[in-house]
Structure 1
């Protein structure tokens, strides 16, 4: 199994993986739109010896109160059903976090199972006064700090705002999930 940054020839394999992994084509269409709009910050793939894509993690930019603070969102994360339970999701996430750290990104947010993502060091975003637009997502919305100053930046934003809560805004292609 090879884990690496995605390249152009992976697009069809990523699309196929997402369409067979999720119940609808929404995630596949999301990644395609992010790629077309130049909003795919990083894509990490896991391929077998024949080059078939068996795992994928996508990272795209988010803003905080409309400001770009070098934060990204992890979505989607997919592992082929035939190899689930082999820790591939963890490897994809950590490869992505390592790469983003090398490129000086500040933090990563994710909307997902808290039990799953807490194993990687994600923590509840609400504990840092962060929220997203999806109602009822408080327990699932989580954050991973890459840079020491990440939460200092959010404190500065909160101090400038009338509300202590900071809204993390995903890019327009995510609007399909409202």
Structure 2
């Protein structure tokens, strides 16, 4: 368990967390301008399919205030050991307090310890760049806006190819995402 502050902790999801994760995810994306409001359904579908490589919660005072989902991806050319990060959700009243950063760092560290080759995310370059995510022409996600599909390798080599997320992500269209 990782401590963000004296009262916020990050740990692996437990069965009793499922309803709270859904609520936090819905709340986190309710007003998000790029959301189709499918993020909670994506997490539920990944969980139902047994496709969560890692599911982390941040809790404070007995309440779940954040969640990060990680799932395996496929890459044309056969590279293995890569995962996606997302949805990443933080309750609106806990945003800006380092909860999201703690979830990301904990998730990346855990994936690396599990022998993963790297992680990808579709998201805001300025936010995810501080965790070592970068855009690269080597890996592509069809329909992703330029510069918003980001890669964080744990090894020196980045494979070349097109990434396919788990079918649960078909609920979201990466072409709908635009960033300032």
Corresponding residue for 1:140?
148
Kindly indicate whether residue 68 of structure 2 is the aligned counterpart of residue 57 of structure 1: yes
Q: Distance in 2 between matches of 1:67 and 1:30?
A: 25
Kindly indicate whether residue 14 of structure 2 is the aligned counterpart of residue 7 of structure 1: yes
Corresponding residue for 2:105?
94
Unaligned residue ranges in structure 1 (runs of 5+): 159-165
Q: Distance in 2 between matches of 1:65 and 1:172?
A: 16
**1:20-99 pair list within 5 angstroms:** 20-23=27-30, 24-50=36-62, 52-65=63-76, 67=78, 69-99=80-110
Runs of 4+ that moved beyond 6 A:
none
TM-score under structure 1 length normalisation: 0.85
Kindly indicate whether residue 168 of structure 2 is the aligned counterpart of residue 173 of structure 1: yes
Corresponding residue for 1:122?
133
Q: Which has the larger Rg?
A: 1
Corresponding residue for 2:23?
16
SS in 2 for 1:69: coil
TM-score under structure 2 length normalisation: 0.84
SS in 1 for 2:26: helix
Unaligned residue ranges in structure 2 (runs of 5+): 1-7, 31-35, 174-180
Deviation at 1:138, TM superposition (A): 2.4
CA contact (8 A) 1:69 1:106 kept: yes
- Normalized per residue, the structure richer in helix is 1
Deviations 1:126-174 (A, max 9, x none): 2xx2110224x221000001123x42xx1xxx5xxxxxxx101111111
Q: Distance in 2 between matches of 1:100 and 1:61?
A: 11
**Residues 66 and 28 of structure 1: is their aligned pair in 2 closer, same or farther, counting only changes over 3 Å?**
farther
Q: Distance in 1 between matches of 2:29 and 2:127?
A: 17
Count of residues paired in the alignment: 161
Q: Distance in 2 between matches of 1:105 and 1:130?
A: 16
CA contact (8 A) 1:48 1:54 kept: yes
SS in 2 for 1:77: strand
